[in-house]
Chains A and B, each alone.
Chain A
Amino acid sequence: MSAVASPPPVTYDYDSAERGSPARRELVELIRYRDLLRQLVSRNIKVRYKRSILGVAWSVLSPLLTMVVLSLVFAALFRTTVPDYPLYLFPGLLAWSFFAQTTSIMAVDLIGGADFWKRIYVPRTAFGIASALTGLVHLGLALVPVAGLLVFYHRMPGWSLLTLPLAAANLAMFTIGVGFVVSALARYFPDVIDLYQVVLTAWLYFTPVIYPASIIGERYRRLFAVNPVSLLVDGIRAPLYDGVMSRSIGVATVVALATLATGWWVFTRSADELPYKV
């Protein structure tokens, strides 16, 4: 009897008792489901414009019109401090809108995806990442008219333009990180999403988007310097408006990576409890 070798161990594809890192497991699954990401992004974009005549043109038009309205209101105020005010306002506003809208929508889309993930296994980060990628597509489209503004104001962008993709990646990583934290909170307390809108309003006034950083008094510079969104907005705006790369792009990259990692960790750690809550 003792000569009988023990049977080969049976391997299971899924074991609920497996105690790996949820953050790592989720990443592996998300890569496996990358085609799902594609489909979700394409659904988001198609559905948004399905019933409009202008279609995707709205992605270009709608922020452009917002910019025109804000320019009319604030151009007079900042005429002396900020030359070519619309060109200053537009890239910053786009970066800010991407951040504000994506972080809000991520939580909503996660809850909205409950129809799926309550019935079948789907990596739960897929919905948030898909919202962010959708936002990036809209951001890219909305940046097109900036070329027109550059021509209009006779500005020649330099090599610093090459830092734009990195700046956009930083903005996206930071946004996804914050979005995951908001999502993680929102599934325990539904009113977090409403509360977050108030936070966003305050956050916008705290970020040099509509006004130039130069009008911040010496006393408050320190306070404003800790706002990471300022760095990320500057990364997008500096190459387009100032024609130089953002001086804080290195710091912004570190902050973005750290925020993404934190958000990912917080979200995946509690993702297993999701079906119990929503």
Chain B
Amino acid sequence: MRGGSCTCELSAAWRAACCTLLLAGGCRPNHAGLAAPSPTVAARQPQIFIADWANHRVVRVTGLHGEDWTTCGESGPVDLRYPVGICLDSSGRLYVAEQEPRLHRLDQLYGAGWVTHQLEPEPNRPPNRHLGCWVCLDRSGRIYVSDGGRHRIVRIDDMSGAGRVSLGSAGSGERQFHHPAGVWVDSQDRLYVADFDNFRIVRCNDMQGTNWTELGRYGSGEREFINPAGICIDSQGRIYVADQGNDRVVRIDDMRGANWTTVGSFGIGDAPQRLYAPTGIAVDRAGRIYVTQCSSNHRLVRMDDMSGANWTVFGGGGVGSGQFASPLGVFVRE
């Protein structure tokens, strides 16, 4: 992440090189619009959007070999600082939430239609030192952002900030969060939250916290999590959690934890079924699972299902094409 408690001189050099490259670059190498993907590409592969946190950019690829690699944010018209959460609306517009509670919307990756909204314009606000802000939309296009540093979820109607309402305060009880991270809204507009430092996931019906339901406690067994980060729901309503501290992906049928299924265990590198700090998670219509790893694995993993079949790895640490620096949020557009 930003550096960690280990003060690494190699990291400093790497960062310096990183900055040099980023300053020299722009949005590269392609400037394809979000709303009009290449028909041939779109027919073949879903588009994968990744928040490339420490490279201060978002990346779009159309396959796990880096096809149609397109980036935005490290320089040029769009200024991103530590992007965390990422999603698209039904019109294909891209939403990016940063480490600090700043939200962006772009019509196209090269910056057209770029709109920014500062969620918390507080000059003396302490820095958000945890897992940053994640974003998702409901069926009406309302925007939900997890404000981890303030232990709450914020919803706004649109990028003007209209209709702002928040849910949560610091704590571990009902309607409370401790550094909430991933957010998702299902087809019934129910809100799901990965409650990072409460070691649980939460579901509620609305921004009043109605029908507050929680699952999980600290641990590595069934119905247990260690710092869950990303969360998403598939077309069958099953819940997927990037169980970051347990280096595994969890899938459950419901908020009781039925059919608890996991894939992954700690490992460095590309070996199948090995994960290190899985953070962002997404599922496509075919049920394929996409997972980012914010650790030194710096990779995106895709698997066909929870058996880990066709385990495919893309990426590696760095600033170039096909490389990431602590990738976090991931979103798949089909």
Q: Do A and B bind each other?
A: no
Residues of B bordering A, CB below 8 Å: none
